[in-house]
Structure 1
Amino acid sequence: MSDNQSKTNAIEEMRFRLLIDAVVDYAIYMIDPDGIITSWNAGAKRFKGYEEKEILGQHFSRFYTEEDRSAGLPQRALDTAIREGRFEGEGWRVRKDGTHFWCHVVIDPIRDPAGNLLGFAKITRDLTDRKMAEETLKQSEQQFRLLVQSVTDYAIYMLAPDGRLTNWNQGAQRIKGYRPEEVIGQHFSLFYTPEDREAGEPQRALETAMREGRFENRAWRVRKDGTRFFAHVVVDPIWGDTGTLLGFAKITRDITEATQAQKVLEQTREALFQAQKMQAIGQLSGGIAHDFNNLLTVILGNLEIVRKRVGDNPKVTRLVDNATQGALRGVSLTQRMLAFARRQELKSESVEIPALVEGISGLLRSSLGPSVQLETRFSPDLVPVMADVNQLELAVLNLATNARDAMPNGGKIVISTRTEDVCDQSTLLPEPGRYVCLSVADNGEGMDEVTLASAMDPFFTTKGVGKGTGLGLSMIHGFIEQLGGRFILKSQKDIGTVAELWIPAATTAALNHPAVSEVAAPPVAQLCVMVVDDDSLVLTSTGLLLEDLGHRVISAVSGAQALELFEREQHVDLVITDMAMPQMNGEQLANAIRALKPDVPIILATGYAERLEGFATTLPRLSKPYTQLNLVEVIALAMK
């Protein structure tokens, strides 16, 4: 070889050496056939921490972990490079300071032209950061898989682009009943109802998710055992970096119980709203009825006096009688309003329902007509109830008439009874106890849900103008509620209606003390009567009726004036006071009078039933509107 050629080779070798030493991202070094390190670049120094003078002449196995050395990995790497012409792999290596790093290793055998092994070229790259990122990602993926698998309240699974299942979590197994091996590979439409599959809902869900980026819905789904559950479903498409659809993520939640609970809550709210509405209307109706009763008291009282004084004039008599009949219709209307408002005066007593129905059977049959068949079914063990006889008769007549009107082409009405013991308050009844259910059923036109919901509202009627007040059912509702029972109405369109009156059974004490029929009282001798009422018209009318009976009347428009007059007058024989008065009501006035003169008789006049306390509960009551005969009877009772 010429000197020039030698110089050229030396320059090339120096350049190569400089190039190798300049590389700091790779550890590049040579080892002889026995694995002894013969060269060392700057990258090797940076990665492994050894200076060149510290490492030359050392065996390359010192970079391996103790476990890998024990397993013979260093020699196996050289053997592989000799056998296959190259070794490539990844693994943990050890720095001078004992710390570990993850590296990618390439070992190439170096041979002379004759094929003799001169040694090995070894290139190592530090991939610790990448390895740690991969480990972190792997751990994250494992944790995510564990999280998804451990979720039992949600069905979480993946779909291939064609809608077939690719995985299945514990929640999906719990909610839908399938094990993973039973559904993976199946099309997700398996969970849809037959009608939804026929309507193409599964495919529509996937198309919506692809088009809009998300599909969300609430619908019925089917479990493995065939039962249905109401589900909240979310489907999200999964796209690759290149925009390729990889599949879908699907989350399903069983909301059957939550939906039912929400429905119950809404029904409860509606019932509360209805109760509040009825209470408000009841208060309004009671107030109107009270004021109207005052007016009727005046009208009827004056008509009664006029009727007495017109003599035998037939034309005037007919006019007065006609006006009286009109006023009495007003009385009937106010009684219905008071019944709805639960403010009417009730005379509760023990009532045998079969005897009551039998007593009005003639009136019932004549009212129903020949096209309507009436049938009664009374249970043999029926017990008496606590009720107002007249109001209960009116309720049965009202229900029977309504049933007749619902059967224009004729039909059948069944009046039946049964006794039931209610042990808890889970029913519609107000409290536990024994009840009698009086039922009036027909097979007429029935009512739809909208009509049924308003049927007991006051003034609601489906009859023509002038054919009904709309107070019948509301009156029955109020009357039964005032007794401590319940009025339940059931109806289906074109099938019929069932009206149930749940009435508390009579107690033993009530059975032992039946109501005594009242007899007409004889007239009372002339008295000095104090009349107290804040309505001047009622005050004047009542005074005229009493004076017509021969009594002397002292009038007062308030409780305070009444007390003042009572202290001045020494010979007041009787006090008739209105209950509803401002500042001092009738009960308070009665207490004040009793404090002054304990023995004076007191009568409480009222337009509706009111809650009284103490001795006032024992005082005679005069219900408005009242007639002269009513005054005679109540005065006789008070003066006993």
Structure 2
Amino acid sequence: MDENQSSGAYGTSSDALFDSLAAPLLVLSPDGTILAADEARLHAAGIVLRYAIGKNFFTLFQKDSDHSSDIELRSLKASLERVLHSKSVDKMPAQRYPAPNAAGQVVERWWQAVNTPLLDADGRLVFIVHHAQDVTELMEMRGTAEAQAEIERNYRTIIEQLRVADRALRESEDRLRFFRELEDRLFGSAHAADVMRTATAMLGTRLGASRCAYADVDEDGDRFWIRNDYTAPGIESSSGAYRLDLFGARAASDMREGRALVLVDVGAELTPLAGRDGFQAIGIAAIICCPLIKNGQLAAMMAVHQDTPRVWTDAEIALVKEAAERCWAHVERVGAEARLRDSEERLRLAVDHADIGFWDVDVVNDALIWPARTKAMFGIFPHVPVTMQDFYDGLHPDDREKTTAAFAAAADAARRSLYDVEYRTIGKEDGVVRWLAAKGRGVFDHEGRCLRVTGTVVEISARKAAEEALRELNATLEARVTTAIAEREEAQAALRQSQKMEAMGQLTGGVAHDFNNLLTPIVGSLDMLQRKSVGSERDQRLIAAAVQSAERAKVLVQRLLAFARRQPLQSIPVDIAKLVTSMGELVSSTTGPQVRVIVDAKPDLPHAKADPNQLEMAILNLSVNARDAMPHGGTLRISACAERIRPGHRSGLRTGHYICVSVADTGMGMDEATLARAVEPFFSTKGVGKGTGLGLSMVHGLVSQLGGGITIESRPGLGTNVELWLPQTQIFDQAHETSRERASFAAHGTVLLVDDEELVRMSTAAMLGELGYAVIEAASGEEAAQILAEGEQVDLLVTDHLMPGISGTELALSMRSSRPGLRVLLVSGYADIAGVDPSVPRLAKPFRKDELAQAIAGVAG
């Protein structure tokens, strides 16, 4: 222990030492420095206590006492030297010492002194206790036995008192070491649970207690929780929840009023009504319990338990009290630190989310503090140190003057302005220009000197960009409004055109439906007459011509349905050469004499996967577009060829064999911008009212559904070439032969025929009769339902789809539930049958006998 530690220890424990002695004393360091003193001893020498502490004993007495003698001082020095060398007690002989009395007169007094060494744990001399006693009265009786005996008794008393003083001093020093260690370990704790775990373990171990516990008290002041407790080997933990009132009125009163509860024998001091059972239930025979009162309420308790009766000393009680106070102080500390960490974390998160940086300028030392976020705003890496020069160098030249002036005004004691400025920076490492907004204030001392200027900074580059964009928008507002109005009018015109096309489609679909109903008996009857070879050869030619006209009318209706988009996509093998050739004739009749139409398709081309009706409409749409692109005439070429597509082809299609259908013109062509939007819905170059903008988009959708693609090549003044790429497919005649064979099979059974059109019903019934079926006719769905409800045995239901009342679809669905085995064939002149199960077989009007037979065979199969 060094001198500073020694001085500190005695400064803390001198009261305990002086209280243990009746005679005056001085505490000296080995070199004679006065560390502590009894005021009576100094007063007897005429010295004031506050001037003596820290002074050398010999220097002080030589300087401040006019009555000291060299002999006495030499005697004292010799005694102290003996103590230093022998480290044992040295008794000095009685000596005269002149001293002032109460009246201020100098009188001669006799003093008897003992110098006692105090050693540390390692045997080193730490202090010398100079213990003196006034023996003037005894010396006046020198020579008598009583005087000598009294002197011996005084010696023995002094020695005993020194032993008591030494014991008190050592206990005090040991107590201080315990609390130093406790403080060191508690300062290393970051959580309240760690504080209490450490404190209870150290306190319980030092006192040799059975248990040491800490408890939190609920707001009601009664229920408490023991969360951390130390237990000696073989002792159970007391952790758990308890009620204070179960431990008796005395314990509850002491705790709630802030008094320590000390019991040496619970069984003897308490009765069952006074809480004895509560203590004994958890093995407590003796206890010291200290309360923590916070804001006038009991908040926590710390206790030491013994499982046997124990007489607690005053020192032990004081130790528990002080340990509890220190622990609670550390609990408050870690709680405050935790709250501070939470607050700092919330602040950090808020700052991170707000993208705020801090800055702090030490004006006195010309130092700058920037965190990583602020450095980033100046394009500086986080690890790079910064100075005020980095701040000035990072300012944009156009903003440097105003920013520097604003900072100077904030640091000026006379103005003390708010530093509020927006400026640009040029990144030191990345060269990026950023807009920043900074705010701050100066910090001044009591003399008005600026010590620091500190504040926050946030990047506002996005806001500045938005403001610039807003200014540009405001500058072009009128033009944009005009453009928006024009675009809206164009969109409204396109919408009206689309609505007209939709209405036209609905009208066309309705007309096609009625036309199919008219064609059905015509086609059926002519087919029957042709197969029966009725009339003369001339009559047969007329019938054949009528059949051909009816077939052309059928194709026309299909095209109308395709135009009206009322016919679903039917992907089948199509003879492209034949289709393109036939379309060439149609296109030639619509383009006029100024446009030369060329058709180029080899007859031996493989078939392609397509819907013939939809493909015809696509070619027709492309031909009309080509014609419109050549107002002064030109050449329109419709061609088809087979081609194998390899990886990297301009169409972007998978490798395979395709048929390419091309529609090319020598018209105006399109620039790159127009070409990029050519397949967008409602995009048209023909002007309002002259086009729908749906042609190319519909064609694109068609070929995509078929597994193909579209490519467009066009240049202004050189024309346009649109290529449709369709997958090749194989057609098997065997399948047609099989269908014909199935159609020629003999038929039998009863068919319920339902159609609201009498002529359709009549011609269909005749076909069914020729096929060998017995036919029951019904003019409506209701009539058919009645027939079936009466128990009529029917093998097949052939019904029209669209009829007044119950539709054919509804009739078919109801029959499926009531007669699960009944086969159903739907017949309709309107291909778009919403809500019909795709698994229900269907036959489109008009049809011939062999088509009807084939459809029935499919149902029967």
What is the TM-score with the length of structure 1 in the denominator? 0.44
Structure of greater Rg: 2
TM-score by length of 2: 0.34
